[in-house]
Amino acid sequence: MNFSLWCDYLEKDFINGDFASMIKEGKISGATTNPAIFKTAFESAAYSEQIASLKGKKEAKKIYELLAMNDVKNAAFKLLTNYANGEDGFVSIEVRPELFDDGVGSLDEAKHIFNAIKMPNVMMKIPASDQGYYAMRELVKRGINVNATLVFSLEQAKECLKAF
């Protein structure tokens, strides 16, 4: 039986510790995250100095982006061998939830994040909504990996397949 187990959590110390060990031991072959996961992670002591140094110099959205993209890039690097061997090795990062009904905004943010991270094994996590399907279609056309999220019905799954 083939299956793939992905970790649904990223945090700086975890990426360099248990996450790396779980990849090496073959326990996980990918990771996914979202703004809620990062909000919890960023409350840990692992980020306190970095956040303190950025406060007042950058707006909250930029601080979030810098920290999240750095973590995703580090996780993607740790999974690169899996990716190269065809054993998943992807890390997905979700566009901001407020872009749920903004296809152009989702597309623009996804392209920005993907291009900033510059790793072939990063997936852009896009909500399954009417506007999300548009963003998915456009990302796939550009060769950007997509992970559909918030899929709760057969109809949504079919629409995701059409978008892909």
Which residue numbers are catalytic?
125
| Residues across the chain | 164
CA dist 31 and 82 (Å) reads 12
- The separation between CA 142 and the C-alpha centre of its own chain, rounded to angstroms, equals 17
For the CA atoms of the chain, what is the radius of gyration? 16
Q: Phi/psi at 33 (nearest 5 deg)?
A: -150, 175
List of residues 6+ apart from 67 with CB closer than 8 A: 38, 42, 47, 50, 51
